[in-house]
Amino acid sequence: MRLKNLSIIIPLGPDEDQFGPLMADLSGLGLAAEIIVVSCDDNVLKEPAIESVRVIKSRQGRALQQNAGAKAASREFLWFLHADSRLSERVIAALEAAIKASPRALHYYHLKFCRDGPAGMAVNEWGAWFRSEILRIPFGDQGFCLRKDIFHQIGGFPQDAPYGEDHLLVWYARQAGVKLRCTGADLPTSARKYAAHGWFALTVKYQWRWIRQALPEAYKFLLGRLNRR
């Protein structure tokens, strides 16, 4: 049975309406994984598309919701997916192989945007590749997967961060000596927020935020490496 040692955790924001296709993907792939949807909105509990999965309630906030899902999870590995991600046979096969090859790593995917965004998203895809593969800083929309015990050892997602909880989790992992491994497959995700808020404005905002947040974490990482010598 495929991915039976894995809990899939999907946080849903208020009025989230893009998770239906992901639920259909999960149903069609016939996985044995535990699926946990973490809602902050009572309305999602009535959504028929998720009757076959476990739904829990949490206070609003992606870090809070993902940590709640991790606490409720019963399997060895945790796979955090955004509600607007899309899955395929290739995505699943790549994760199976990655977990088998490096069970103690933090796994992630190449980011691929769906065709629901503005022109220019190819630039963002290239930027995500450079950030992930050269700088070793993937983000949460790249589908983090890691062992549950390692997730808790590094402290989980920081609940007091105003943004970038996924970015900070990567730094916590690196500072703890956890290796990062790309599965080699693309994980499609929606680009609708760029269409809604403007490609240039949102791209600049995200770049400024993560670079500003990364600087003190990079310092801690380098200092830790020097101290271990």
**Once rounded to an integer, what is the mean pLDDT over residues 180-189?**
98
Question: Residue 99 pLDDT more than 70?
Answer: yes
Q: Mind spelling out the 3-state secondary structure of 18-74?
A: CCHHHHHHHHHHCCCCEEEEEECCHHHHHCHHHCCCEEEECCCCHHHHHHHHHHHCC
Residue predicted with more confidence, 79 or 18: 79
CATH (one of 3.90.550.10, 3.30.450.40, 3.30.420.10, 3.40.50.1700) for 6-228? 3.90.550.10
pLDDT at 48: 45
pLDDT in tens, 52-98: 689 999 999 999 999 999 999 999 999 999 999 999 999 999 999 99
Give the three-class secondary structure for 82.
Answer: coil
Does the structure show a pLDDT above 50 at 198? Answer: yes
The reply to whether the predicted model has a pTM over 0.85 is yes
Phi-psi region of 11 (alpha: psi -120 to 50; beta: other; left: phi over 0): beta
* Phi, psi (deg, nearest 5) at residue 180: -105, 135
The token pair that represents 9 in the structure block = 């955790």
Task: Give per-residue pLDDT as tens, 119-141.
Answer: 899 999 999 999 999 999 999 99
Question: What pLDDT, on a 0 to 100 scale, did the predictor assign at position 43?
Answer: 58
Show me where the domains of the chain are located: 6-228
Cα 189 vs. chain centroid, distance in angstroms?
11
Q: Taking CA 149 as the corner, what is the angle to CA 187 and CA 66, rounded to the nearest 5 degrees?
A: 50
- Per-residue confidence band for 47, with pLDDT thresholds at 50, 70 and 90: low
Pick from 177, 157, 191: which is nearest to 78 by CA?
157
- Closest CA relative to residue 157, chosen from 75, 68, 77: 68
pLDDT category of residue 46 using cuts at 50, 70 and 90: low
C-alpha distances (whole Å) from 150 to each of 65, 126, 156, 158 are 18, 29, 9, 15
